[in-house]
Structure formats: C-alpha cells, structure tokens
Amino acid sequence: MAGRGLLIAGLSSSSGKTLIALGLMRACRRLGLSVAAAKTGPDYIDPGFHAAALGTPSVNLDPFAMDDDLLCGLASRQEGETLIIEGVMGVHDGGDASSARLAGRLGAPVVLVMDIRGQAETAAAIASGIRDSLGATGVDLAGVILNRCRSDRHASLARDALEDQGITVFGAVPDSDQITMPSRHLGLVQADDHGNLDALLEAAADLTCDGIDVAALMAASGALHPPGQMREAVPPPAQRIALARDAAFGFGYEHLMAGWRRMGAEVIPFSPLADEGPDPDAGFVFLPGGYPELHLEALANARQFQSSLHAMAARGIAIHGECGGYMVLGQAITGTEGERVAMTGLLDVETAFTTPRLHLGYRRLRRRADAPLPDHLLGHEFHYTTALAEDGEPLFDVTDRNGNDLGPAGLVKGSVTGSYMHMIAGVKG
C-alpha cells in the first residue's frame, strides 16, 4: 500500500510530463523500487500507459468528483510504497480539479516539468512563482525537471538560475524527436493500440536514467494523508457484472471495477469486437466508452454480441452504456466518411461523427428514471460525436460543475439505459 507520493506536474499540456512520468515509472521498475501510478482527473488513456510501464494498474484520482476519504483511500490502496501521480494540463489549471489541488489534498509534493525551449534564466522566475503559489496553499514544490534542453550550456544556464533561487533541479532531458506519443481525436493513441509500446517505454526510461537523479527524486516524495474512512466510489449495480472490454470499449475506470470487486461483485469481461456476448447469468451489463467509431463494421457484424444483448434486455436484465457504449446501444452511428451503420437498436438514439464538435466538462447527475445507479453522481462528458435524434424517457437531469442547468440527458427503454455521461463517483450521504 502506498504511504508516500509525489505529483509530476507541468506548466501546460504538452510540456512533456507524460513521457517523463512514464520514463520515471519504467526506470523505477528497472531499479526494483516499489512504486505505483495514478493520474489526476478524468483520463482513460494515460493510466493505460502507466499500467504498461509498471505492470500494475494505475488509478484516477479526481479532486472534483471525489471526497477526501475516497481520494486518500484510493491512493493508499495502490500496490507500491511510493505513488507517482501524473498531473493534468498546467499545475493550477482546473480550479478545484487541478493538479495543485490534488497535491494539497493528498499531501504530495510537486515536481515541475519545465519545457525550457526559448528560455533559460526565465525558468527560475517562473518556477519561483509556482513555488510561492503552491506554498500559499500548503503544497511543497520539491523541485523541477528541465525538459527539451537544446544543449548542455542551455541546461546549465537554467539550472544555475534555479539553484540561485533555492530550487532543486533533479535533472535535464534533451530536446529530441526520437520518442513520440501519437494522438487522435480523444487524446493519445491508447496503449493497447501501439505496435511497439515496450520499446517506447524503454527509450523513455533511458532518457530518465541518463538525465535525472532518480534516487533524489524519489527521496523527495512526501507522506500521503491517510483516509479517515475507507469507502468506494459507486456501489456495485449487481452481484455479477458483465463488462465490455476491448479496443472499442476501453474507457472503463479502474477504480470503479476494483471497488465493485472489493465489495464482493464479480466483474466478467467480454469482447464485442470478438463477437462475444455478455455472461448470460450477469445481473448488469456495462458498455463503457471508447472508440466504437473506429470499429463500426466489426460491431455491426457482431451477431452473437447483438443477439445476446437483445435476449438479456427481453429478460429485463439491466444494460447500461456510457458514451461509446451509449452510441452502440442506439439505432445507428454515422462515421467520419458519412457512412450510416446500424447498431443494436436497443435505445432510440442515433449519433454521428460527420460534424465533430467537442463536448467536454464535469457533470452533476441526478437520476430521474429507474436504474441500478446511485440517485446522485458526479461525472464528466468528453466526446466529439453528436446525437442526431434522441427519443424516449431521459435518464438524468444534468448540471455543469457550477450548477448551471444543462437539461435532461440519456435515455431509458425498459431495462436498457445509457447516456454520454461517464460516472466517476456517487455523492456521499
């Protein structure tokens, strides 16, 4: 169980914190150090890379959607003595959902990854401001890692200025295009879709070991706050849960699945892309989000999968889809080239990718229809597709993170439910 931790933060997105966090994780694994991984906020993709780097699951820690008992409990349950937490965006971005806020609630010092292309001594002024702003909230800046250094002299100029300000420099990483992290419309290409992921992780670890004092960095970790009372995010919706899990349905949160197992439920994976149906004895079928739009033909031809869902719906077994899962439960999906492909038809919704528009943000959800889900949930929305038509009884009443009314969302038809919303945690009490 993790008793110590540190948070790898940046000044912005694309600062290099993901690659450095992965390199640090794989380097620690090489060195035989007992570490675990976590990601700040609602992100399905980075934890997959963490798991590949360490060989153990990563967990999402969301300072907006999780109370202190849940946050600290999930952190402490990770299998490693020291928890390496990857931040999100810039260190203060996101307000109460920021990396800085998470660090304070956990008691984790911050290590700042600084992309110093186009600057040198200025890095010291920026880091000093970050140190002071963190310190005002009780968070320690353990030090910095200089990233994308053009030369040894470039790194030395920045290092000397930082050390003059009393800021520890754990190391410097050169500017290189030898390692790239390919992206697509919802973020990085998922770990399972990389052709040679292990080579990428080994190269990242080489950079880390060559340029960063790993021992000093790990020694800068801090004692994590223990939970006041251990709790789970969402109670299991059934004793036996069938979980869609493959390249089309890869966005299920590890903390939900692990919590259901800890509470005695059995989670049984199946692959729609392999034309597998859910366990017929399951009391709940869960189709999480993912990339169904990249696998339309395979899903349309998955006859066993579709017929099994229809048979379970006819028996009144609860079936729930989130985002991509919701789309697959609908009548059809129109792909990027304008092709309309029929889906399961269990819900009266039709979605399209023809005019991509980003729908993004935290959501407060109040369940308004009968379903084996909590009455109140905190979650998020993140998709580019649009619902062309939705007909039927809504599943949720939705507000944004600030309480602004967004109206009803999702659909209910018999025992089948779904929406674009991803659940993170139930509201305590």
Residue 163 reports pLDDT greater than 50: yes
What are φ and ψ of residue 337, in 5° steps? -95, 10
The set of catalytic residues is 323
Residue 55 scores a pLDDT above 60: yes
Chain-wide mean pLDDT for the chain?
A: 94
Count of all residues that appear for the chain in the document: 429
pLDDT band at residue 336 using 50, 70 and 90 as cut-offs: confident
Question: What's the alpha-carbon Rg for the chain, to the nearest Å?
Answer: 22
Instruction: Please say if the pLDDT value at position 191 is more than 70.
Output: no
For residue 188, pLDDT beyond 80: no
What pLDDT is stored for residue 279 in this prediction? 98
How far apart (Å, rounded) are the C-alpha atoms in residues 94 and 418?
Answer: 27
Domain 4-223, CATH homologous superfamily name and number: P-loop containing nucleotide triphosphate hydrolases (3.40.50.300)
Task: Tell me the average pLDDT across 60-82.
Answer: 97
Q: pTM higher than 0.85, yes or no?
A: yes
What is the bridge-based pairing of β-strands 416-419 and 318-322? parallel
C-alpha distances (whole Å) from 34 to each of 56, 119, 234 are 11, 36, 29
Sheet-wide strand order for 396-400: 405-409, 396-400, 359-367, 376-383, 422-426
Given a contact cutoff of 8 angstroms between Cβ atoms, the answer to whether 289 and 320 are in contact is no
Q: What is the pLDDT of residues 194-223, one digit of tens each?
A: 557 899 999 999 999 999 999 999 999 999
- Cα 10 to Cα 4: distance, rounded to the nearest angstrom: 20
The DSSP letter of residue 59 is: E
Residue spans in the chain of domains classed CATH 3.40.50.300: 4-223
Span 345-349, mean pLDDT?
98
Q: For position 185, what pLDDT does the model report?
A: 44
| pLDDT, position 87 | 98
Question: Can you name the residues that pair with 141 across neighbouring β-strands?
Answer: 110
Residues 378 and 427: beta-carbon distance below 8 Å: yes
Does pLDDT of 239 surpass 50?
A: yes
pLDDT of residue 189: 53
Instruction: Look at residue 165 in the predicted model and tell me its pLDDT.
Output: 98
In tens, the pLDDT along 280-316 reads 999 999 999 999 999 999 999 999 999 999 999 999 9
Adjacent-strand bridge partners of 389: 350
Give the side-chain half-sphere CA count within 13 A for 419: 29
Using pLDDT thresholds of 50, 70 and 90, give the confidence band for residue 187: very low
- Say whether pLDDT at 179 is over 90: no
CATH 3.40.50.880 region(s) of the chain? 240-426
Those residues whose C-beta lies under 8 Å from the C-beta of residue 339, and which sit 6 or more positions away, are 296
pLDDT at 83: 98
Residue 224 · residue 3 · CB < 8 Å: yes
Question: For residue 354, what pLDDT band results from cuts at 50, 70 and 90?
Answer: confident
pLDDT at 184: 39
If DSSP codes are grouped into helix, strand and coil, which group holds residue 17? helix
Contact 25, 37 (CB under 8 A): yes
pLDDT score for 195: 59
Domain 240-426 superfamily per CATH: Class I glutamine amidotransferase (GATase) domain (3.40.50.880)
Q: Residue range 409-413: average pLDDT?
A: 98
- Give the pLDDT score at 190: 55
C-alpha dihedral, 342 to 343 to 345 to 348, nearest 10°: -80
Q: What is the pLDDT of residue 337?
A: 86
For residue 206, which amino acid is it?
D
Work out the average pLDDT over 5-13. Answer: 97
d(CA 227, CA 241): 28
Give CA–CA dist 411/22, Å, rounded.
Answer: 39
| In the predicted structure, residue 152 carries a pLDDT above the cut 90 | yes
- Band (pLDDT 50/70/90 cuts) for residue 186 is very low
